[in-house]
Amino acid sequence: MVKKKTSTDALLTEVLHQLGEIKAKDIVLMDLRDIESAVCSYFIVCTGGSSTHVASISGFVEKEVSRSLKEKPWHVEGADNAQWVLIDYSDIVVHVFQESTRAFYDIESLWGDAKITHITE
């Protein structure tokens, strides 16, 4: 039996919902679909208040998305130091930053051509 892939819209909705549940801060949705060189369709960027919060946000999102949609990330990076955890669902990449690390890398400016929607402040 072959597992049917979850739609991008369903995955996007679930990830955003779970980020809200775990109290991620400053959640931003970046639509990259009109950018020719983009590696995926969407970036979701958010902030945690400490390395513990960043780790708990990323772990919670992984666990709850797996539970509800049976989707596991293709790749996860940065969980060891929890300054910046990247959760790669292939078409959607979630970036969970500590505040200073987010400011330093400034992903929103790097991908300035993206359509940006502020989900939370």
Domains of the chain: 8-105 (3.30.460.10)
Q: What's the half-sphere exposure (Cβ side, CA atoms, 13 Å) at 70?
A: 5
Mean pLDDT of 50-57: 97
Residue 26, H or E segment: strand 25-31
| Averaged pLDDT, 42-62 | 97
Tokens 């955003």, residue?
16
pLDDT, mean over the chain: 94
pLDDT digits (tens, 9 = 90+) for 62-115: 999 999 999 999 999 999 999 999 999 999 999 999 999 999 999 999 999 999
What pLDDT, on a 0 to 100 scale, did the predictor assign at position 80?
92
Q: Higher pLDDT residue, 4 or 20?
A: 20
In angstroms, the CA 98 to CA 76 distance is 16
pLDDT beyond 70 at 3: no
Mean pLDDT value of segment 1-22 = 86
**Site of tokens 């060189």:** 37
